[in-house]
């Protein structure tokens, strides 16, 4: 059974069908790419998967450790706790909080303590807070942000902000990580580093990753399987080589005026 | 049945007055997203201007309404320029507190000059005091005047907003001030114009309330102002037809509660209705559910 | 060591404040009038810091704090008038706080789904409804109100409850729970995406704020011994909000300073009788125009000297941020938006 099974998923906005009868299956440990021209519905698909929009129809199932949960239409926070972490296309950090706090707020979700401890700073408070802090700092170190822990996240460089978003998403300890254009705005060097980092994170954290990306070099290099979305429908699926040579995909990207080579 | 029709007429008069005030709230909110708490005071000042026009200058009711509208227009535009414009780029809460400050300022300045005691409105001409019976339903001619003037002003407003260039500018600015500016619309002038129209309507409402309740005082703006605002939110704040529907619902509910003998619970019922509609439709009756772009 | 230092951070300033006031009372510097002003300040601090938790730290514009204060005040009054002695008083204050919290929870659950100005007007309406009920109930003696409530509040009791409120709220904000609230203020969608149940967080802070407003109300009833529904109108809620905004959203020390400044100001303005409110409202407008972020912005008073004495280092847990109540008008894209 796949980790993520999406069956006949449709999402309409008024008369517009942003995602149309999409079927996706992602196995545990896979690294899957989601590509398609602008306006194809990639981000909308992510938003439906993470509960920002409920699906108009269709089902989404998550199978973690042998138990299957239907997450279609659940609230984003419930879907997150079921094991799905994500980043946003237009970076949504807590901009006026420090780098450490951004990660802590996510990390603390796994290390809860009581309201009474919060009011008194007694009992389990000290130990739990220390644990939250230590684990957050470890994660920041992995993401190369250890020396920036006390900076306001709005003051980070663009690349660092993208890294921090990934760190925050990892802090909730997801099984499935959805990355929405993680390399957007990065130069080729940064993109290469990010590619390596994603592969490394997948190994170290035992993650399954689905990523939306426009940078084809990144997608073709690290994705094992690719889904191509156009006008809300999945028009092709397979290995990078297969997708690259699919005439439907070429047409979707180049438009109908493309020479029929 | 007669009783019902009787109350319906009362509800219609009260609703018309609320509608005139609610329109100002909703237009200002639509364009600068500010709850203009001072709007209730503009209406109070309109009532006093009407009072002086009739008692000091011995002019008629319609001249009084006109005078109130003119003075309130000037006042509304002035308040926007002096107090709200400097805060346009500031936080919503800072503007809100400023609006509350303006509201208190107008109340207590007025109180300083005219005293806190309520005063009776000048005697109305005979034709305004006439009443006639339609199948047992007593209709006062002043009620007809209130409803008539309100409807007239609302039609005029609809005409201005829908057909004139300024109306188009208002709609454009309320949708996207920056884009409107790029299209060559003067945002400042449009906002001033919106305050002008809203305040003029409130001024007229002030005189009509004076006629309706026959009593005015410097604090009279608070409750009707709040209720008109409730009406605007009920219908979906920023939406002109919504404000009208809201005003008549609130006016109707108040009249009904009073007629059933629970007038002490009147204000509570108004707010309960508001909360109920917001729980069902979080952006009001006609409000569109705007969703943040992700 | 860290724990001791943390305790000293609030114990020292509170202890100093308590001692100084006590000494001044003993010496006779604080007369009755001054004492009443101080009681008002303390009650206002309780009300403002608790409201700040909702408006400043969670970013939810609530305009009905007077409603919770009224519940606390009337509950405390009714109980102290029936149960004698200090037991009745403590019982009354706590019962009022609990009842206010329960009402806050029940109202917050449906209402806190609303955003921005819709939430503001709904909470304002809720407070008005509470007032209408008090106005029409037998046990509250309707519009005439209650008088002759036994006065139990002295400086010790007032200080006890004030300190309780401040210490609890201060700790709460600097905990995982408080950080969650701040995350909701900063970006609700991002907060949900990392598993935060935003509705639950909002209801939690709203309920806590109602609880402490209830305490403030109880102290008010017991000290001023006369209650009328008209004292808890819309303007009372606004008064509290003004303290919060003037002090700075998301600044506890700002709320404390603003409560003191406003009390001093109003004492000073008392001599102008007729012009008092005109000057007050004019100042309000001018302050907002020239200092819209409030006195403190969102910073806290760092205990400069004390900090040095106890070797306090800059604590990153003190999340200071410019907490702007989010501009909802940026959320223009509607349902039709695709991406």
Q: Which of A92, A10, A65 has its CA nearest to residue A176?
A: A65
CA distance C292 to chain A (A): 18
Q: Is B60 on the interface with C (CB under 8 A)?
A: no
Q: Is C214 on the interface with A (CB under 8 A)?
A: no
Q: What does the pLDDT read at residue C13?
A: 85
Q: How many residues does chain C have?
A: 339
CA distances from B143 to B127, B168, B208 (A): 12, 33, 9
Residue A175 has pLDDT above 50, yes or no: yes
Domain count, chain A: 1
Mutate to test the interface with C, among B271, B276, B286 (most CBs of C within 10 A): B271
Q: What does the pLDDT read at residue B292?
A: 66
Residue C15 lies in a domain: yes
- Picking from A40-49, C39-48, C112-121, C180-189, which range would have the lowest pLDDT averaged per residue? C112-121
Which CATH number is C231's domain given? 1.10.3470
Q: Which of A250, A233, A106, A236 has its CA nearest to residue A177?
A: A106
Instruction: Confirm if C262 and C47 have CB atoms less than 8 A apart.
Output: no
Residue A118 has pLDDT above 50, yes or no: yes
Residue A194 lies in a domain: yes
Q: What does the pLDDT read at residue A181?
A: 93
- Picking from B216-220, C43-47, C270-274, C304-308, which range would have the lowest pLDDT averaged per residue? C304-308
B-proximal residues of A, 21-80, CB under 8 Å: 43, 47, 52
Q: What does the pLDDT read at residue C324?
A: 40
Q: For B178-193, how does the pLDDT look when each residue is reduced to its tens digit (9 = 90+)?
A: 899 999 999 999 999 9
Q: Which residues pair with A67 in a beta bridge?
A: A64
Q: What does the pLDDT read at residue A253?
A: 83
Chain centre to alpha carbon of residue C42: 10
Residue C170 has pLDDT above 70, yes or no: yes
The mean pLDDT value of chain C amounts to 86
Domain count, chain C: 1
Q: pLDDT-based confidence at C302, cuts 50/70/90?
A: low
DSSP state of C57: I
Cα separation, C48 vs C65, in Å, equals: 9
Instruction: Confirm if C51 and C62 have CB atoms less than 8 A apart.
Output: yes
Q: For B28-56, how does the pLDDT look when each residue is reduced to its tens digit (9 = 90+)?
A: 998 888 889 999 999 999 999 999 999 99
Q: For B232-268, how does the pLDDT look when each residue is reduced to its tens digit (9 = 90+)?
A: 999 988 888 899 999 999 999 999 999 998 888 888 9
pLDDT higher for B56 or A260? B56
Cα separation, A99 vs A147, in Å, equals: 10
Instruction: Confirm if B75 and B199 have CB atoms less than 8 A apart.
Output: yes
Residue A250 has pLDDT above 90, yes or no: no
Q: Which of C73, B217, B294, C295 has its CA nearest to residue A44?
A: B294
Distance from the first to the final alpha carbon of chain B: 54
CA distances from C173 to A6, C5, C160, C189, C251 (A): 40, 18, 20, 21, 10
Residue C326 has pLDDT above 60, yes or no: no
Cα separation, B95 vs B87, in Å, equals: 6
Q: pLDDT-based confidence at C117, cuts 50/70/90?
A: confident
Residues ≥6 apart with Cβ < 8 Å to C260 = C41
Concatenating the DSSP letter of every residue in A93-127 gives --TTSBHHHHHHHHHGGGS---HHHHHHS-TTHHH
**Chain A adjacent subunits, 3+ CB pairs under 8 A:** B, C
- Contact list in C for residue B111 (CB cut-off 8 A) is 277
Which CATH number is A45's domain given? 3.40.50.300
Q: At what angle do helices A125-142 and A158-171 cross, to 10 degrees?
A: 130
Residue A22 lies in a domain: yes
Mutate to test the interface with C, among A34, A54, A94 (most CBs of C within 10 A): A94
Q: What does the pLDDT read at residue C84?
A: 87
Q: What does the pLDDT read at residue B2?
A: 80
What backbone torsions phi and psi does residue B131 show, to the nearest 5 degrees?
-140, 150
Q: Which of B6, B49, B3, B4 has its CA nearest to residue B208?
A: B49
CB contact under 8 A, C325 and B274: no
Q: What does the pLDDT read at residue C9?
A: 78
Q: What does the pLDDT read at residue A260?
A: 44
Q: Which residues pair with A5 in a beta bridge?
A: A25, A61
Tokens of residue C176, six digits: 């995982």
Q: What does the pLDDT read at residue B93?
A: 86
Residue of C nearest to A113 (CA): C176
- Contact list in A for residue B294 (CB cut-off 8 A) is 43, 47, 52, 88, 92
Cα separation, C287 vs C279, in Å, equals: 12
Residue A157 lies in a domain: no
Residue ranges making up the domain that contains C83: 2-313
Residue B60 lies in a domain: yes
Q: Is B134 on the interface with C (CB under 8 A)?
A: no
- Picking from A78-87, B159-168, C216-225, which range would have the lowest pLDDT averaged per residue? B159-168
pLDDT higher for A54 or B93? A54
**Unique residue bearing structure tokens 């029409």:** C136
CB contact under 8 A, C180 and A105: yes
CA distance C12 to chain B (A): 34
CA distance C277 to chain B (A): 6
Would residue B207 be called left, alpha or beta, if left means φ above 0 and alpha means ψ between -120 and 50 degrees? alpha
Residue C309 has pLDDT above 50, yes or no: no
Give the per-residue SS3 of A138-190. Answer: HHHHHCCCHHHCCCEHHHCCHHHHHHHHHHHHHHCCCCEEEEECCCCCCCHHH
**Unique residue bearing structure tokens 């300890």:** A173
Q: Is C164 on the interface with A (CB under 8 A)?
A: no
CA distance A25 to chain B (A): 24
Residue ranges making up the domain that contains A230: 4-83+174-254
Residue C322 lies in a domain: no
Q: Which residues pair with A210 in a beta bridge?
A: A32, A178
Q: Which of A88, A83, A22 has its CA nearest to residue A52?
A: A88
Residue ranges making up the domain that contains B171: 10-219
HSE value, Cβ hemisphere, 13 Å, CA-based, for C66: 25
**Unique residue bearing structure tokens 């009532």:** B47
Q: pLDDT-based confidence at C336, cuts 50/70/90?
A: very low
Q: Regarding beta strands A225-230 and A31-35, do their DSSP bridges make them parallel or antiparallel, or are they unpaired?
A: parallel
DSSP state of C159: H
Q: What does the pLDDT read at residue A226?
A: 95
Residue C316 has pLDDT above 50, yes or no: no
CA distance B34 to chain C (A): 9
Q: For B104-155, how does the pLDDT look when each residue is reduced to its tens digit (9 = 90+)?
A: 999 999 999 998 899 998 888 877 788 888 777 888 888 888 899 988 998 8
Q: How many residues does chain A have?
A: 261
Q: Is B290 on the interface with C (CB under 8 A)?
A: yes
Residue A168 lies in a domain: no
Cα separation, B17 vs B46, in Å, equals: 13
What is the share, in percent, of chain C residues with pLDDT greater than 90? 63
Residue A231 lies in a domain: yes
- pTM of the predicted protein model: 0.90
Residue C321 lies in a domain: no
Q: What does the pLDDT read at residue A216?
A: 84
CB contact under 8 A, A105 and C191: yes
């Amino acid at each position: 059974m796949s980790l993520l099974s999406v069956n006949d998923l449709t999402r309409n906005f008024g008369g517009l069908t942003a995602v149309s009868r999409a079927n996706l299956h992602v196995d545990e440990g896979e690294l899957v790419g989601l590509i398609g021209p602008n306006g194809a519905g990639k981000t909308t698909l992510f938003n439906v998967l993470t509960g920002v929009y409920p699906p108009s129809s269709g089902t989404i199932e998550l199978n973690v450790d042998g138990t299957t949960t239907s997450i279609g239409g659940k609230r984003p926070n419930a879907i997150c706790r079921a094991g799905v972490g994500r980043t946003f296309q237009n970076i949504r950090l807590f901009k006026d909080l420090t780098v450490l706090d951004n990660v802590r707020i996510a990390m603390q979700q796994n290390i809860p303590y009581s309201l009474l401890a919060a009011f008194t700073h007694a009992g389990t408070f000290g130990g739990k807070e220390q644990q939250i802090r230590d684990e957050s700092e470890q994660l920041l170190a992995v993401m190369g942000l250890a020396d920036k822990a006390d900076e306001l996240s709005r003051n980070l460089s663009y690349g660092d902000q993208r890294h921090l978003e990934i760190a925050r998403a990892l802090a909730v300890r997801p099984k499935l990580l959805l990355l929405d254009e993680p390399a957007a705005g990065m130069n080729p060097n940064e993109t290469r580093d990010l590619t390596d980092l994603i592969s490394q994170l997948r190994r170290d954290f035992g993650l399954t990753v689905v990523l939306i990306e426009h940078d084809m070099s990144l997608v073709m290099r690290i994705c094992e399987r690719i889904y191509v979305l156009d006008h809300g429908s999945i028009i092709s699926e397979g290995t990078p080589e297969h997708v690259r040579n699919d005439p439907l995909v070429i047409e979707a990207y180049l438009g109908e005026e493309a020479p029929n080579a | 049945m007669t009783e019902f029709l009787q109350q319906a007429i009362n509800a219609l008069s009260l609703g018309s007055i609320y509608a005139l005030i609610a329109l100002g709230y909703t237009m200002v909110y639509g364009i600068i997203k500010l709850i203009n708490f001072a709007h209730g005071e503009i209406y109070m000042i309109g009532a006093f201007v009407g009072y002086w026009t009739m008692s000091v200058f011995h002019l008629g009711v319609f001249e009084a309404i006109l005078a109130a509208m003119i003075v309130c227009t000037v006042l509304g535009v002035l308040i926007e320029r002096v107090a709200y414009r400097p805060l346009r780029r500031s936080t919503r809460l800072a503007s809100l507190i400023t609006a509350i400050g303006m509201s208190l300022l107008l109340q207590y300045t007025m109180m300083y000059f005219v005293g806190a005691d309520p005063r009776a409105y000048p005697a109305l001409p005979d034709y305004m005091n006439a009443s006639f019976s339609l199948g047992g339903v007593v209709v006062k001619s002043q009620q007809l005047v209130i409803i008539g003037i309100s409807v007239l002003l609302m039609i005029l407003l609809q005409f201005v907003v829908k057909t004139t260039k300024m109306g188009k500018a208002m709609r454009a600015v309320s949708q996207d001030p920056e884009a409107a500016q790029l299209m060559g619309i003067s945002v400042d002038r449009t906002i001033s114009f919106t305050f002008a129209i809203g305040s003029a309507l409130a001024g007229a409402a002030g005189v009509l309330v004076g006629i309706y309740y026959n009593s005015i005082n410097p604090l009279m703006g608070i409750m009707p102002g709040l209720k008109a605002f409730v009406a605007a939110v009920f219908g979906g704040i920023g939406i002109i037809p919504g404000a009208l529907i809201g005003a008549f619902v609130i006016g109707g509910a108040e009249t009904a509660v009073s007629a059933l003998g629970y007038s002490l619970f009147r204000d509570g019922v108004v707010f309960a209705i508001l909360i109920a509609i917001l729980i069902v439709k979080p952006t009001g009756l006609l409000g569109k559910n705007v969703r943040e772009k992700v | 060591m860290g724990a001791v230092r943390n305790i000293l951070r609030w114990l020292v300033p509170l202890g100093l404040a308590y001692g100084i006031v006590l000494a001044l009372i003993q010496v006779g510097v604080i007369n009755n009038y001054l004492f009443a002003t101080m009681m008002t300040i303390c009650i206002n601090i309780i009300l403002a810091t608790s409201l700040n938790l909702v408006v400043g730290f969670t970013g939810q514009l609530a305009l009905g704090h007077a409603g919770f204060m009224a519940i606390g005040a009337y509950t405390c009054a009714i109980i102290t008038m029936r149960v004698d002695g200090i037991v009745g008083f403590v019982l009354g204050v706590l019962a009022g706080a609990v009842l206010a919290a329960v009402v806050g929870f029940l109202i917050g659950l449906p209402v806190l789904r609303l955003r921005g100005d819709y939430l503001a007007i709904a909470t304002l309406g809720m407070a008005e409804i509470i007032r209408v009920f008090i106005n029409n109930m037998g046990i509250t003696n309707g519009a005439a109100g209650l008088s002759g409530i036994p006065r139990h509040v002295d400086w010790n009791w007032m200080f006890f409850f004030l300190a309780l409120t401040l210490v609890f709220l201060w700790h709460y904000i600097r905990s995982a729970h408080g950080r969650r609230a701040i995350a909701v203020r900063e970006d609700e969608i991002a907060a949900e995406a990392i598993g935060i149940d935003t509705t639950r967080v909002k209801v939690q802070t709203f309920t806590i704020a109602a609880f402490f407003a209830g305490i403030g109300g109880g102290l008010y009833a017991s000290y001023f011994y006369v209650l009328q529904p008209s004292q808890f109108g819309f303007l009372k809620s606004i008064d509290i909000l003004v303290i919060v905004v003037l002090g700075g959203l998301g600044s506890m020390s700002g709320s404390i300073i603003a409560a003191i400044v406003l009390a001093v100001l109003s004492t000073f303005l008392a001599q102008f009788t007729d012009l008092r409110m005109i000057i007050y409202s004019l100042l309000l407008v001018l302050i907002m125009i020239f200092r819209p972020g409030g006195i403190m912005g969102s910073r806290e008073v760092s205990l400069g000297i004390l900090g040095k004495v106890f070797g306090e280092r800059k604590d990153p847990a003190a999340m200071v941020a410019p907490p702007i109540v989010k501009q909802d008008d940026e959320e223009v894209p509607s349902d039709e938006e695709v991406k």
